[in-house]
Amino acid sequence: MLSTELSDRDFRRFSALVYEKCGINLHEGKKELVRARLAKRLRETGFRNFNAYYRFVTQRDSGDELVKMLDAISTNLTSFFREEKHFDFLKQVVFPTYAADKSRAGFHRPRFWSAGCSTGEEPYSLARWLLEYFGKTVRLDARILATDISTKVLAQAKRGVYPAVRLEKVPATVVRKYFQRGYGGQEGYFRVKPSLRQMIEFKRFNLMEPLPFKEAFNLIVCRNVMIYFDKRTQQALTDKFYDALLDGGYLFIGHSETLTGIHHRFRYIRPSVYQRP
């Protein structure tokens, strides 16, 4: 018989495992969330209780179920053109430097990283503003790397198909320009057009792992991700982002986040915007 009762001991063990593997800090207030999300894994895998499932994930699993467990635990909330002030900063401060000073290293081929891209709205929004600002007047070899720990949300991001409700707040002119309306069996859905899709590479990446990327970035966007980490993990991640940026590159974090209390090497520009000097 299936038991979905999560004991305090089991909660502590799963919390420690999640923290070890991906840095997410699950405090006591998250116990019900953990119970509900892992209960779905119990039903899908056939394990009778959380103790048996924990033993399998830590002792016998090849790694596939661990990935699915982390998928289940990670929280994914996003929308198109979220936190508009960041896009205003790109248009008013960052993009003009690319157009005016293309001789500077990296400016003629900007590389952006959407770290924690969820279902893809953020990297597609970045791609849209790159095309909107530069159009065909300035040729830039711009690429966007979009990563997330969840294979589930990455699969949706790669498809680039969204229900109409996700685009309700997007101006109709933008929808017509960058999305294709679905018909027949796809009625009520929109697909991102190739002009945006071709700029983005989606990859699974755990932010706790060493960076495998060969190129440094002009911009890293990691919004509303570090709020799930404790200070020690935030410190390590901030150092990692600094090392991954070109000189003069920017880091965007969520407007509800701050680097206050973390020893970092960034220059503060404005709320949620930091620069590598």
Report the CATH number that the domain containing residue 33 is assigned in CATH: 1.10.155.10
Average pLDDT over residues 147-157: 91
Residue 182 has pLDDT above 90, yes or no: no
- C-beta neighbour count of 148 within 10 angstroms: 26
Query: Closest Cα to residue 260, out of 244, 274, 243?
Result: 274
Listed residue (73, 83, 97) closest to 16, CA to CA: 73
SS3 for 111? strand
The number of domains in the chain is 2
Active site residue 148: yes
In this predicted structure, what is the pLDDT of residue 178? 94
Give, in order, the Cα–Cα distances in Å from 188 to each of 2, 101, 168, 243.
38, 43, 12, 43
pLDDT of res. 1:
67
Q: Do 113 and 33 lie in a common domain?
A: no
- The pLDDT score that the predictor gives to residue 18 is 85
Considering the candidates 13, 35, 37, 166, report the single residue annotated as catalytic: 37
199 and 90 in one domain? yes
Largest CA distance in the chain: 67
Q: Are strands 273-275 and 245-253 parallel, antiparallel or unpaired?
A: antiparallel
- Count the alpha carbons within 13 Å of 190 in the hemisphere toward its beta carbon: 18
Predicted confidence at residue 26, as pLDDT, reads 82
Residue 2 lies in a domain: no
Using the Cα atoms of residue 44, residue 47, residue 49 and residue 55 in order, give the sign of their dihedral: negative
Q: What is the mean pLDDT of the chain?
A: 87
Which one from 143, 148, 197, 223 is the annotated catalytic residue? Answer: 148
Do residue 257 and residue 225 come from a single domain? Answer: yes
Q: Which of 92, 110, 105 is nearest to 220 (CA)?
A: 110
What are 101-115's pLDDT values in tens digits? 655 544 568 899 999
Summarize the confidence of residues 70-83 as an average pLDDT: 70
Q: Which domain holds residue 22?
A: 8-73
Q: Which pLDDT does position 77 carry in this prediction?
A: 57
Q: Is 243 a catalytic residue?
A: no
Whole-number percent of the chain with pLDDT over 70: 91
- The average pLDDT across 16-38 equals 85
Residues 67 and 126 in one domain: no
